[in-house]
Structure 1
Amino acid sequence: MTGDLWTAREITQQPAVWRTLAEHLAAGKARIDAFLAPLLARDDLRIVLTGAGTSAFAGEIIAPGLTRALRRRVDAVATTDLVSNPREHLAEDVPTLLVSFARSGDSPESLAAVRLADEVLSDAWHLVLTCNPDGQLYRTTNGDRSLALLMPEGTNDRAFAMTSSVTSMMLAALTVLGAGPDVPLLADVAAAALPDLAKRARVLAEEGADRFVYLGSGAFAGLARESALKLLELTAGRVVSYFESSLGFRHGPKSVLNDDTVAFVYLSNDRYTRQYDVDIARELRAALPDGHVITIGCRDDAEEETWSFPGLGHLPDATVAPVLLLAAQHVALATSRALGLDPDNPFPANEVNRVVQGVTIHALDE
C-alpha cells in the first residue's frame, strides 16, 4: 500500500484552511492596509508576482484577474527567470511591488529575487506570502519597505507536492491586493465537491491512461500548467502531462495526442473567453475516444461541463481557480496511487527535492 497520509490530508483540509486564512487576514487588515494602500494608490506602481515552480504558476493564475480588478499592470515573472536575467525583467526602473510566493521561504531563487530587486531598482517594495515561520524569507523581509504574511498552520505542506500551500497563497494575494474573493463561498463549494472529486479521480486513474493534457485560457492557462506539473510530480514522471492555452494547442502542441490521451479543458466563466474553450473541447471529443475529454467549469451547464462546481459561475476565473485546482490535485493523487507510488515521497532517491537543491546564486556584475 502506498503512503499518502499527508498528500491526501493536505488536499482535503483546504476548505477549512481557507476559512482560517480569511479570519487571519480580516484580523490583520489594519496592518496590511497601512502597508499596501499607499502603494496601490500610486499610478506608476508596477506589481510583479514571483516564485519558483508551483509558486510561479500561482502568479500566472492570478495575474490576469488582478490586472482586470486593479486596472493596472500586473506581471507574473518566475524567480528562476528573474534571478538569471534581472536586468531584462526589471529593466524599467519604476516603483515596483515584488510579491513573493514561497512555501518554505528557503529556496535560493526566492531569497535572491528579493535581493536583486533591491539592487536593480531604486524603489522596490516587497510583499511576501509564505507558509513557513522558520523560513529565511519570512524571517528577513519584515521592514519599512516589506510586509511578510504567514499562511495558516498546516499549509507548509509536509508532503512533496504543493497543495494547500499554493491555494492559500493565491487567495491571500487576491484578498490583500484588492480582488475581493468570497473565501467562505469558495470554501463551501470546495468542501461539497471533495467527495465526488475523489471518486471521479479514482475511476479515471483505474483506466490506466499514461498521457494527460490540460488546457485553459487566461487565468486557466496558468491553472493548466500547475495541473500538469502536479500530475508529473506525483507520478514521478511515469505519466506524461502537457499544458497549453485553449487557442494555442492547435499550433503544433496538438501533436501530443494519441488514442490513450485524456484531455482536461477548463471552461472560463467569461462568456467571450469560454467560447474558445468550448470549441477546443468539441474538437478534441471528435478526435479522442469517448470519455477521454473532461471539461471542468462553474457555470452549471450540464451539456458543456463534465465536472462542475455550481454556484461559482458569476466569479472571475482567477478567483475560482483554487477550487478547480482541487480536481487536478485529486487526479494526480489517484494516478500516483494507481501506479503503486508514494505520493508523499514520489522520489525516494531524492532525484527531485521538496526544497530545491544544487542552485548557485552568482553575484550581479556591475
Structure 2
Amino acid sequence: MGERGLGSSWTAEEIWHQPVTWPRVAEAVERSRPLVDGLVGPVDARTRIVLTGAGTSAFIGEVVAPALARHLGRPVETLPTTEIVADPGTAAIGDQPVLLVSFARSGNSPESLAAAELLHRLTPDLRHLVITCDASGELAQRWAGAENAVVVALPEETNDRGFAMTSSFTGMALAALLAFGLDVDVEALAGEATAVLAEAADRASAIAGAKPERLVYLGSGALRGLAREAALKSLELTRGEVVGIAESSLAFRHGPKSVLDDRTIAFVFLSTDPYARSYDVDIARELVQSLGADRVVVVGEADSAECGGAQVWPVRGAFGSPSAWALVAVITAQTTALACSLALDLTPDNPFPGGEVNRVVRGVVIHEFGEGVS
C-alpha cells in the first residue's frame, strides 16, 4: 500500500485504486452479459424492479435507480434488505413478479440472505440479479446456478478490506448501470476520478483541519442517495465523532436546517442535470449566508461567485447521468471522512476496536415469518 497523503491504510488504498478497478468491473459485467441479458431482457411491464441492500449497499440503489428508470422507461424501486426482512409485505405484493437486484460487498449479512429467501418464498415469480464483490460469500454461493438467478461477481480488489465500503460502493454501482445497458464511458469516468484524487488529500486535509463536528451533505435526485452515503462515511470512519447529516437540497429547509451551527461544514453536490442544479445552487447560496463562504463546499462544475462565494471542489464531466457522475463525486466525501478520521487519531481500517460496530453486521436474529403473520 503506497503513501497517498492520507496515510497508507487499506481504506486509503481502496479509495485511490477505484479508477483502476472500474475497467475491470466493466469486463466482469461483459463476461456475464449473456446471462444478465437473459435474466433482465424478458422482464415485462408488470414486473416490479426492486434494488436492495443494507447500509451503503442500499444507497447504491438510491444512486442508480433514477438513471435505470429513465433508461428503462419504467419505475425502479429501492427497498433496503432491512425493510424487506422486517416487513416482507412491502416487497411481496399479491402475485406480482419481482426482479430483485441485490447489492452485497461480502454477501454474508444476515439481512441480505434473509431478504432474498423471503421473497423467493413469498413471490410466485422471482428473478434475482446478485451483484457482489465476493464470489465466495454466502449470497453468491446460495444463488449461483439457481433457476432465474444470475450472480455477477466483481474483481477481488473491489472487496474492501477496510471497515467502510469505498471501492465496493462505486464498483457495484457501476456494475448495475452497465448490467442494465446504460452507456457509461468508463475510461472518461476513471480519468476524472484520477484528476480528483490528485488533489483530494490537500482538499480533504484542509476541511479536516477546520475541526468540524458536523458534516452536512445535500444533493438532488440521484445525488440524495450520494449524500446519504457521504454522511455515512463520516459517521463510520470518525466513530460518530463527526456527525454526518444528509438530505435533498430542497427538503433541507423543512426542519433539517436546524442542525447548522458554527462547527458545521456543508457540502452541496451540484447535479449535472441543469434543472435540478438550479435548486442545488440556491441552497449553496443560502448556506453561505448562514455559515460563511469558508464553511460551504460545492462539488461539481461551478464558479464560486455563482454559488455565493462558496468553496468549489471541482468534479468535471456529466458521464450521461447524475448517477454515473456520483461515482466520481463520492471520492470527495470518502477522502474527507478519511482525513477527519486521521485528524482524530483513529484507525480508519478499524475505527471500532471494541467491536461496537463491525465490518459485517453481527447480532441480527432472523425471526421466522409464518402463515398468518402480517
Normalising by structure 1, we get a TM-score of 0.95
- 1:135 corresponds in structure 2 to 137
C-alpha distance in structure 2 between counterparts of 1:107 and 1:99, whole Å: 15
CA distance 1:338–1:352, shift in 2 (3 Å): same
Aligned partner (choices 50, 53, 59) of residue 51 of structure 1: 53
User: 1:86: how far off?
Assistant: 0.6
3-state SS of 1:222 partner: helix
C-alpha distance in structure 1 between counterparts of 2:179 and 2:236, whole Å: 30
- 1:327 corresponds in structure 2 to 332
- 1:207 corresponds in structure 2 to 210
Amino acid at match of 2:190: A
- 2:359 corresponds in structure 1 to 354
- 2:150 corresponds in structure 1 to 147
CA distance 1:106–1:304, shift in 2 (3 Å): farther
- 2:3 corresponds in structure 1 to none
Larger displacement relative to structure 2 (92-101 or 318-327):
92-101
C-alpha distance in structure 1 between counterparts of 2:33 and 2:92, whole Å: 30
Aligned partner (choices 23, 36, 45) of residue 32 of structure 1: 36
Matching of residue 103 in structure 1 with residue 109 in structure 2:
no
Matching of residue 309 in structure 1 with residue 315 in structure 2:
yes
For the Cα contact (< 8 Å) 1:295–1:304, is it kept in 2? no
C-alpha distance in structure 2 between counterparts of 1:304 and 1:337, whole Å: 33
For structure 2, the residue ranges without an aligned partner over 5 or more in a row are 1-5
For structure 1, the residue ranges without an aligned partner over 5 or more in a row are none
3-state SS of 2:151 partner: strand
C-alpha distance in structure 1 between counterparts of 2:325 and 2:171, whole Å: 12
For the Cα contact (< 8 Å) 2:32–2:152, is it kept in 1? no
- 1:73 corresponds in structure 2 to 75
CA distance 1:153–1:88, shift in 2 (3 Å): closer
CA distance 1:289–1:316, shift in 2 (3 Å): same
3-state SS of 2:83 partner: helix
C-alpha distance in structure 2 between counterparts of 1:255 and 1:59, whole Å: 28
C-alpha distance in structure 1 between counterparts of 2:360 and 2:236, whole Å: 13
For the Cα contact (< 8 Å) 1:47–1:73, is it kept in 2? yes
Matching of residue 235 in structure 1 with residue 241 in structure 2:
no
User: 1:3: how far off?
Assistant: 7.2
Aligned partner (choices 324, 341, 349) of residue 344 of structure 1: 349
C-alpha distance in structure 1 between counterparts of 2:319 and 2:49, whole Å: 26
C-alpha distance in structure 2 between counterparts of 1:188 and 1:304, whole Å: 26
For the Cα contact (< 8 Å) 1:160–1:345, is it kept in 2? yes
3-state SS of 2:14 partner: helix
Cα deviation digits, residues 172-218 of structure 1 (max 9, x gap): 00111122222121111101210211210011111211111000111
Q: Name the Cα RMSD after superposition.
A: 1.5
User: 1:300: how far off?
Assistant: 5.3
For the Cα contact (< 8 Å) 1:300–1:309, is it kept in 2? no
For the Cα contact (< 8 Å) 1:4–1:342, is it kept in 2? no
Larger displacement relative to structure 2 (85-94 or 120-129):
85-94
C-alpha distance in structure 2 between counterparts of 1:279 and 1:293, whole Å: 13
Larger displacement relative to structure 2 (148-157 or 90-99):
90-99
For the Cα contact (< 8 Å) 2:91–2:119, is it kept in 1? no
Amino acid at match of 1:322: L
C-alpha distance in structure 1 between counterparts of 2:241 and 2:334, whole Å: 16
For the Cα contact (< 8 Å) 1:70–1:178, is it kept in 2? no
- 1:64 corresponds in structure 2 to 66
C-alpha distance in structure 2 between counterparts of 1:178 and 1:325, whole Å: 22
